[in-house]
Structure 1
Amino acid sequence: MEYSYELVKSKKGVPFKIFIHSVNRLKMHWHSQMEIILVLKGSINIRIGSESYLLKENDLILVNSNEIHNTSKTAEDNILLVLQVNLDHNVHYYPKFNEMIFNCKSFTCSEEEQGKFDVIRRHLAKIFWETNKKREGYQFIVGSEMNLLGSHLINNFEYSFLEDEKVEAIHKNIDRLSSIIKYIDENFEEGVMLQEVADNENLNVYYISHFIKKNLGISFQEYINNKRLDKAVELLVNTNKTITEIAFESGFSSTKSLNTLFNKTYNSSPSAYRKEKTSLDDISHTDIEREKIKSKTYLDVDRTAAFTKLFKYLEMGLEIKEKKTLIPKHFINIDINHDGIYHNFYWKKLTTFGRAVEGLRKNWQDQLKELQSEIGFEYIRFHGIFSDEMMVCNINDDGSIAYNWSYVDELFDFFKDVNIKPFIELGFMPSEIAKSDETMFWWRANISGPRDINLWTDLVKEFIRHCINRYGLKEVETWYFEVWNEPDLEHVFWIGGEEEYFKFYKETVLAIKSISRGMKVGGPSVTYQVIKDGRWFEDFLTYCDKNKVPLDFVSLHIYPEDFSSKQMVQDIMVRAKAGEDILKLTSSWKDMKRIYFDKNHTYDTLKSVHDKINQYLPYKPEIHITEWNSSSYGRNLIHDTCFESTFIIRNILKSIGEVNSIGYWTFTDIMEETKAGISQFHGGFGLINKNGLKKPSYFAYYLLSKLGEKIIGQGEEYIVTKNDSDVQILAYNFAYFDELFMNGDTSALTNTERYLVYEDKPLKKVGFNIIGISGHYKVTRYELNREHGSSFDEWVKMGAPENLTKEEIQYLKGRANPKISIEYMDIEGEYSNNLYIPVHGVELIILEKQI
């Protein structure tokens, strides 16, 4: 147990510090700031001076300046909202505010008196909300809330004034208390006596005893016992010393004394406590249990109910209503006579879907047909070409392998019909030739290597030969062959380790190249984590270079998120290695908190990939992102919102020239990694939902597909292109996640309200002036935003019905399209226009010269 003065530092521009956390036990401390504590969930014990209180959910207490206090948990978890106020700010408005001692404890008042505490709760919620959103000038808003809070305290709560001599006495007592605690802490292991403390302070023993009890709320002996107990807990967890050794080293007179206090405090014997804590895989987790620890972050416990309670105090209709204030913008001048820069529409090179067998369904095929007719992708990538449900491998009576290409032919023939080529991920392993039976996903994709590498290479070669015989060598040499899926995630998508995968890659490439050197083979389809951390990717490049293994392209997966508990991910992998069902283990991933990288994560990852390739390879292979989305979780509700359209456009335009393809994962919600989604808008990856309703993400690609082949102007949130005399102007208003959501909090994300997790941005004004354009033009304007082109928002307006009828689906299909307006005009020399774009909105103007 420790006691100390806490220096509370507020952020520049705001006279306070506000945060949410979960406490185990805080050391006794004091600070010059006033502190308000609101229990959002659970309960806590709090001691202020010699008084102790139990605060339950929704209870609120004000701790005055320099009051010695501490908090500790009860048997249930807790979440607290804490506001610490710099009183110097209030003194500017009310000179005697820092001398006021308030009596503000909601739990001592009746239900009828809670109205005045609700006002405080509302101010706390607003301050927290605005501090999180950080709108331009938010400091004025929170400053206003702080002033209103101060006024409310003065006018609605009892208070007394500290006289100057009392202030002086308080500071004198704090100085004396600090000196006493320092002396005890430095000598308690030697068995310090109260008389020694009194002698050190030149005071009599009776005064010192009373002084400690009055100011700490516990006696001298209780404080000594707690110090000894802290020391014992540390030795129990971090050493192999015996209980007897620990008892005497911690200052206890006997093991019986230690056992008695330990049982009273922890309801456990020291040996049982040690056994429980040291059985944990990660020893750092025991730190959370120690009384010395200050707190856990609020991400470590369930917060949904707590934030629901907090947000109810917000007048949400006013707080989140779209602001009509404009961001002023100067006209952007673009000369159409500028030669421009050719680009190859790389974002249309690749789309993706879940697994091969899904492609045999009529509703899936209908969606791909429509996608191809309106946008037209060149390649399509997917899992499971060799998985059991495709029935490729079969065992004859004599034990030999027979191949059945019927389902593969049906799928590839359909690809040919809709003018798209396969980007073939070679995996997963057929059970007939698999080394073991570890599987992933609901559909049991086998993630092991082959029991004999020759069985695998024979399969691959027979597959290549069959494709050549059916579609021709010239055609198949235009396809891509990617070796496996995310082998860096050992025991999740690959069993066998790094070295085994490298050899597996080598044998697979050599098998394909033995048939035709013109085949395009690559990988390793790794996650962005290994680009960011470790040496897996560098080791792979080095292996290919050193062993002369062909690498025609590098493939990777990028999602802008990490997990708050990497230890949990590692534990899942270790448990999977020990034989636990990987499907059941990974189902718990949905409960892990996702920590988001900044908005430039995709671009920054690509830059890092280029740097590593340049460093480790003497040549430059193609680079393909074969999985990419705003989240790797197939039930993330943000996938259905208008945010996704601006996320796609911003990252695609920013990455021009950095990558050969970027495959959005996936084009459809007809996908069954974890069974089919239940709700109409369940946060699936797809550009199209399971009923064929196009999401804003779909229309992002639709608008991008209408750009011209030459870029004549590009800047922050806009691009201007041309085809001959035609001009295309695309602009958008991108808002990324707010600070809470980026740090893993999903409390504000519900089935029907999904826009509270983004930065707060106003309507945006963009002015364009196209110079050197003359003639008679058709001007077509597309508007994509929450009012036009969002099937999710239209579904909510309809009442968010589930199990849609055909009539309701057709209604939504008619309502959820970008707005199109057309006019004809004669342009002489220049064209000027202003675009007014709401947040998460996109606008495209096409100037099409008429003959």
Structure 2
Amino acid sequence: MSYKYEFVMGDEELPLKAIIHSVNEFNLHWHNKFEILIVLEGSVNVSIGKENYVLYEEDVILINSNEIHATSRNEDKNILLALQIDPEFYISCYSKFKNMKFHNKPINEKGYDGDNLNILKQYIANVVWCLNKKNNGYKLVVGSYLLLLGEYLINNFKYALLEDRDEITDGDLIRIKNIIDYTNENIGRNITLKEIAENMHLSYHFLSHFIKEKIGMSFQEYLNSIRLNKAVKLLSKDDQSITSIAYASGFPSVNSFNRLFKKYYNYSPSEYRDNLLSSKSKDDNVLQVNNEIGSYLEVDRNAALKKLYGYLKVSPREAKEDYSHGEDLKLISIDLNQEGQDFSHYWKKIITFGRASEGLRSNLQGQFRELQREIGFEYVRFHGIFMDEMMIYNVSLEGKVEYNWSYVDNLFDFFKEINIKPFIELTFMPSELKRTEDTIFFWKGNISPPRDINLWTDLVKAFVKHCINRYGVKEVETWYFEIWNEPELKYVFWAGSDEEYFEFYKETTKAIKSILGKLKVGGPSITHGAILGSTYIDRFLDYCSKEGIVIDFISLHIYPEYLLLDAIDESILEQLDDEDKLNLIPLVKKIYHGENNTFNTLNTVNNKILEILNYKPEIHVTEWNASSSNGNLIHDTSYVAAFIIKNVLQCIGNTNSLGYWTFTDLMEEQKLGISSFHGGFGLINKEGLKKASYYGYYLLSKLGDSIIKRGEDYIVTKKDDSIQILAYNYAFFDELFLHGDVSALTHKDRYSIYENKPLKEIEFTLNGLEGDYKITSYKLNREHGSVYDEWIKLGAQENMNFEEISYLQGISKPKMEIRELELYGEYRDKINIPVHGAELIILEKRI
């Protein structure tokens, strides 16, 4: 059976499944597994045979194989863990288990010794942890915990032998299944037990007694339960009257429906629906969204699983980073005399920051200068060049439009000073031009289409002319003009229809090209979720093709996860203000598309271009990061460095750029983070401390311009007479995190959410090297180059003083080692890379 919210762990090679789920309706079922049910949060009704129980938080109950049992929601929301174990696993090593039937009463501290209960939960917690982490040999560990669990149950909990108890037969189960199937098929009409008895050729009294004996409730009670289930589903839709729902659910009258509904739910049907759907206040609009998207909302398992994991007994050895050796030593041999492949450092094409006005601030400019000095990106992209705070669009008392380019000039002059060009995102709408009041973010960017397209295109043309007059034709011809930001996210970034955006794109393109035809214009700057889950990009390309609009570049945004905003009614989003929209985002289910999502999305886009267009525009990823959520604590960790290196090397040849969002934590989509390491997007934190992600780019920037060889986790490049070897050890998120559980991600522990991987050992043999060489190695991992990990060692100090910041700046760099060697045709080196780590080796020939 399945539940509304369900996450299943286990595979065919294991004798168990762990199911984390939420019960929202009455479910009667049975199976051939031995089940341990734990209430992680809330409470739930459980019926086993004739007995009915209410289980509360942290209660446990044992359910024997082939016992008919039912679960249903109590007044509280609930989160349950069901551990279903194949009894043959125990029978194979302890034959008496076959005849054991454990007592079904709830196990809690009232009836059992607290230590006994805690030990039981400890074994279960360790099983769930191992299933999630999948360490090397984890199935053996799971098996050992299951054996300990079985031994503990036998010696500490009550059971009876099979010969002492009645056993339900296969024939009974078939009969019950027939009764359930017949009832479900005919629920919409007034069926009776007498009808079912006649249909099954049984006496009424026998069948009545049989149902009560085997299911633990009368037929009428069972019928009422499934009728109420159907009624609740119908009440969530506001298109039927209470009378229609009563009869559609099989109730003989509206009065009986009202009476039973109030008995079970403490509300009348009308009150229940009103509470669910009818309120028009802003707060209730958010509540309405929650109900609208149903299973797309994350189950709030975090606090519940924290309690379960609290029973884990982790030894100091298990708690440390895994530096155990992998199964194999990878041997890589390279002939340096072979022809290399040209290698463009495409990842240095674009870097980003928050919005235009932030680029005028001295603290951001100081960080930007250092980034350019050490790494050196080609273009910078940002939001809000036309926002009111840039003070471009003004209307005189006489009603004349006046443009003020002062802040634009200050910003672009700074770009020129640090040798970077603008990749200009044409947003957001000036207040004087907006059609609606819709805005986004803390700084209220207007997401409205223009009230008059001609006023907008006049602004765009004036802007382009000014840039050409100030910086010259040849310079501006190298710039990029991107039309808007994520227009597919209606009432988040675009308060209009798709068709309106397409028209807006056409008119904006025509306006730019009318000034200078060689200028590079593109879009639509949509998210990977829209590319993989809708036809938006197809329709955009098709529209441009039919309208004769040449697209100079396709821009898109790629993140590992995608928010299912499509499931929310647009009219609801339209009513929410900026704060409510931002508060809604954490409630919406995040869909992870797998560790190769960047590569797969780019392949999809390339294929769509080939299918629809008869030419190949450039492809630019103008936003990309390890998470789309500002404040996601993973952003500060060493994981992101390996994420950057892995994806950059994997996507060679698939895109013209991979623009990291953003280079700094100094951004204000929401209020500036309070903690020094609050999970901001940046490569550099707000105090100017370089994160491990920064050094991921630093290592990449030292690669050569010709690829000699590359594989799944390494690349070897060449520049003149020097050789560069870069290898990494990447680990993706574990299964629980991918399914929405962030309970293991805390302010001071940010590495318990990944799959476990051992130390990576690679031995490189380079043939064709003669002479004296300087060999420099850079080790980047949690111990070397991760300022977050050093900050934790320092006591996770907040509001740090100058001395503390300076200390972290000095200690948080990759480990650098230098040696001199005379080589006689071959160089051999073995490197050991911990998980979330990378290592770069550079061989420079000496004269």
TM-score (structure 2 length as normaliser) = 0.92
3-state secondary structure, aligned to 1:376: coil
* Contact 1:299–1:744 (CA under 8 A) maintained in structure 2: no
Moved more, 156-165 or 652-661: 156-165
Give the Å deviation of 1:232. Answer: 5.7
Give the Å deviation of 1:133. Answer: 1.6
Structure 2 alignment gaps of length 5 or more = 3-7
**Which residue of 1 is the match for residue 304 of structure 2?**
306
**Which residue of 1 is the match for residue 157 of structure 2?**
157
**Which residue of 2 is the match for residue 5 of structure 1?**
none
Structure 1 alignment gaps of length 5 or more = 3-7, 290-295
Matched, 1:261 2:260: yes
Give the Å deviation of 1:222. Answer: 2.9
* Contact 1:593–1:745 (CA under 8 A) maintained in structure 2: no
Instruction: Report the CA distance shift for 1:397/1:811 in structure 2 as closer, same or farther (over 3 A).
Output: same
* Contact 2:619–2:656 (CA under 8 A) maintained in structure 1: yes
Q: Structure 1, residues 267-318: CA drift from partner, whole Å, max 9, x if none?
A: 3344555666676999xx99x99xxxxxx97964322211110111112445
Give the Å deviation of 1:604. Answer: 0.9
Once residues 450 and 184 of structure 1 are traced to their aligned partners in structure 2, the CA distance between those partners, rounded to angstroms, is 58
Instruction: Report the CA distance shift for 1:249/1:836 in structure 2 as closer, same or farther (over 3 A).
Output: closer
Give the Å deviation of 1:266. Answer: 3.0
**Which residue of 1 is the match for residue 471 of structure 2?**
471
3-state secondary structure, aligned to 1:432: helix
Map 1:625-644 onto structure 2 (within 5 A). 625-644=621-640
Map 1:816-831 onto structure 2 (within 5 A). 816-831=812-827
3-state secondary structure, aligned to 1:509: helix
Q: 2:586 aligns with which of 586, 590, 596?
A: 590
Give the Å deviation of 1:677. Answer: 1.2
Matched, 1:778 2:777: no
One-letter amino acid of the counterpart of residue 212, structure 1: I
Instruction: Report the CA distance shift for 1:356/1:95 in structure 2 as closer, same or farther (over 3 A).
Output: same
One-letter amino acid of the counterpart of residue 384, structure 1: G
Q: Structure 1, residues 654-706: CA drift from partner, whole Å, max 9, x if none?
A: 11111111110000000001121111111111000000000111001100000
Q: 2:724 aligns with which of 714, 725, 728?
A: 728
One-letter amino acid of the counterpart of residue 746, structure 1: V
Once residues 116 and 202 of structure 2 are traced to their aligned partners in structure 1, the CA distance between those partners, rounded to angstroms, is 45
Instruction: Report the CA distance shift for 1:48/1:459 in structure 2 as closer, same or farther (over 3 A).
Output: same
Once residues 435 and 204 of structure 1 are traced to their aligned partners in structure 2, the CA distance between those partners, rounded to angstroms, is 73
3-state secondary structure, aligned to 1:712: strand
**Which residue of 2 is the match for residue 136 of structure 1?**
136
Q: Structure 1, residues 182-232: CA drift from partner, whole Å, max 9, x if none?
A: 666677877666566667777765554443323222234433444555566
One-letter amino acid of the counterpart of residue 574, structure 1: S
**Which residue of 2 is the match for residue 47 of structure 1?**
47
* Contact 1:711–1:721 (CA under 8 A) maintained in structure 2: yes
Moved more, 18-27 or 767-776: 18-27
Give the Å deviation of 1:241. Answer: 7.2
* Contact 1:106–1:114 (CA under 8 A) maintained in structure 2: no
**Which residue of 2 is the match for residue 293 of structure 1?**
none
Instruction: Report the CA distance shift for 1:542/1:210 in structure 2 as closer, same or farther (over 3 A).
Output: closer
* Contact 1:22–1:298 (CA under 8 A) maintained in structure 2: no
Give the Å deviation of 1:26. Answer: 3.6
3-state secondary structure, aligned to 1:32: coil
Moved more, 705-714 or 250-259: 250-259
Once residues 248 and 479 of structure 2 are traced to their aligned partners in structure 1, the CA distance between those partners, rounded to angstroms, is 71
Once residues 296 and 475 of structure 2 are traced to their aligned partners in structure 1, the CA distance between those partners, rounded to angstroms, is 55
Aligned identity (percent) is 53
Instruction: Report the CA distance shift for 1:130/1:401 in structure 2 as closer, same or farther (over 3 A).
Output: same
Instruction: Report the CA distance shift for 1:533/1:246 in structure 2 as closer, same or farther (over 3 A).
Output: closer
Give the Å deviation of 1:778. Answer: 0.7
3-state secondary structure, aligned to 1:326: coil
Give the Å deviation of 1:808. Answer: 0.8
Q: Structure 1, residues 239-288: CA drift from partner, whole Å, max 9, x if none?
A: 97766676667665544333332332233344555666676999xx99x9
Moved more, 268-277 or 436-445: 268-277
* Contact 1:439–1:583 (CA under 8 A) maintained in structure 2: no
* Contact 2:489–2:565 (CA under 8 A) maintained in structure 1: no
Give the Å deviation of 1:461. Answer: 2.0
Give the Å deviation of 1:480. Answer: 1.2
Instruction: Report the CA distance shift for 1:148/1:186 in structure 2 as closer, same or farther (over 3 A).
Output: same
Once residues 538 and 189 of structure 2 are traced to their aligned partners in structure 1, the CA distance between those partners, rounded to angstroms, is 55
Give the Å deviation of 1:560. Answer: 1.6
Once residues 843 and 796 of structure 1 are traced to their aligned partners in structure 2, the CA distance between those partners, rounded to angstroms, is 23
**Which residue of 2 is the match for residue 292 of structure 1?**
none
Q: Structure 1, residues 114-151: CA drift from partner, whole Å, max 9, x if none?
A: 21221221111111111112223321111111111111
Moved more, 177-186 or 30-39: 177-186
**Which residue of 2 is the match for residue 613 of structure 1?**
609
Moved more, 311-320 or 87-96: 311-320
Give the Å deviation of 1:181. Answer: 5.2
One-letter amino acid of the counterpart of residue 375, structure 2: I
Once residues 175 and 190 of structure 2 are traced to their aligned partners in structure 1, the CA distance between those partners, rounded to angstroms, is 21
* Contact 1:563–1:594 (CA under 8 A) maintained in structure 2: yes
Moved more, 311-320 or 27-36: 311-320
Once residues 343 and 257 of structure 1 are traced to their aligned partners in structure 2, the CA distance between those partners, rounded to angstroms, is 76
3-state secondary structure, aligned to 1:213: helix
Give the Å deviation of 1:798. Answer: 0.8
**Which residue of 2 is the match for residue 835 of structure 1?**
831
Once residues 585 and 187 of structure 1 are traced to their aligned partners in structure 2, the CA distance between those partners, rounded to angstroms, is 43
Once residues 512 and 143 of structure 2 are traced to their aligned partners in structure 1, the CA distance between those partners, rounded to angstroms, is 67
Matched, 1:531 2:531: yes
Matched, 1:420 2:416: no
3-state secondary structure, aligned to 2:321: coil
One-letter amino acid of the counterpart of residue 575, structure 1: I
Q: Structure 1, residues 371-429: CA drift from partner, whole Å, max 9, x if none?
A: 01100111111111111111111222211111111111111111111111111111112
Matched, 1:751 2:747: yes
* Contact 1:712–1:721 (CA under 8 A) maintained in structure 2: yes
Give the Å deviation of 1:113. Answer: 0.8
Matched, 1:659 2:655: yes
Matched, 1:574 2:545: no
Give the Å deviation of 1:166. Answer: 4.5
* Contact 2:449–2:494 (CA under 8 A) maintained in structure 1: yes
Instruction: Report the CA distance shift for 1:510/1:20 in structure 2 as closer, same or farther (over 3 A).
Output: same
**Which residue of 2 is the match for residue 325 of structure 1?**
324
TM-score (structure 1 length as normaliser) = 0.92
Give the Å deviation of 1:637. Answer: 0.8
Q: 1:698 aligns with which of 691, 694, 697?
A: 694
Instruction: Report the CA distance shift for 1:458/1:256 in structure 2 as closer, same or farther (over 3 A).
Output: closer
Map 1:445-524 onto structure 2 (within 5 A). 445-524=445-524
One-letter amino acid of the counterpart of residue 787, structure 2: S
Once residues 563 and 734 of structure 1 are traced to their aligned partners in structure 2, the CA distance between those partners, rounded to angstroms, is 24
Once residues 250 and 619 of structure 1 are traced to their aligned partners in structure 2, the CA distance between those partners, rounded to angstroms, is 58
Once residues 448 and 180 of structure 2 are traced to their aligned partners in structure 1, the CA distance between those partners, rounded to angstroms, is 61
**Which residue of 1 is the match for residue 762 of structure 2?**
766
CA RMSD, aligned part only? 3.0
Instruction: Report the CA distance shift for 1:765/1:473 in structure 2 as closer, same or farther (over 3 A).
Output: same
Once residues 448 and 245 of structure 1 are traced to their aligned partners in structure 2, the CA distance between those partners, rounded to angstroms, is 42
Instruction: Report the CA distance shift for 1:31/1:354 in structure 2 as closer, same or farther (over 3 A).
Output: same
Instruction: Report the CA distance shift for 1:255/1:627 in structure 2 as closer, same or farther (over 3 A).
Output: closer
One-letter amino acid of the counterpart of residue 524, structure 1: P
Matched, 1:670 2:666: yes
Matched, 1:795 2:791: yes
Q: Structure 1, residues 692-744: CA drift from partner, whole Å, max 9, x if none?
A: 00011100110000011111010011000011221100000000111111122
Once residues 181 and 535 of structure 1 are traced to their aligned partners in structure 2, the CA distance between those partners, rounded to angstroms, is 42
Once residues 645 and 188 of structure 1 are traced to their aligned partners in structure 2, the CA distance between those partners, rounded to angstroms, is 57
One-letter amino acid of the counterpart of residue 750, structure 1: T
3-state secondary structure, aligned to 1:662: strand
* Contact 1:560–1:602 (CA under 8 A) maintained in structure 2: yes
* Contact 2:99–2:161 (CA under 8 A) maintained in structure 1: yes
* Contact 1:435–1:451 (CA under 8 A) maintained in structure 2: yes
Moved more, 533-542 or 779-788: 533-542
3-state secondary structure, aligned to 1:39: strand
**Which residue of 1 is the match for residue 5 of structure 2?**
none
3-state secondary structure, aligned to 1:264: helix
Instruction: Report the CA distance shift for 1:240/1:559 in structure 2 as closer, same or farther (over 3 A).
Output: closer
Instruction: Report the CA distance shift for 1:372/1:205 in structure 2 as closer, same or farther (over 3 A).
Output: closer
Once residues 202 and 542 of structure 2 are traced to their aligned partners in structure 1, the CA distance between those partners, rounded to angstroms, is 73
Matched, 1:403 2:400: no
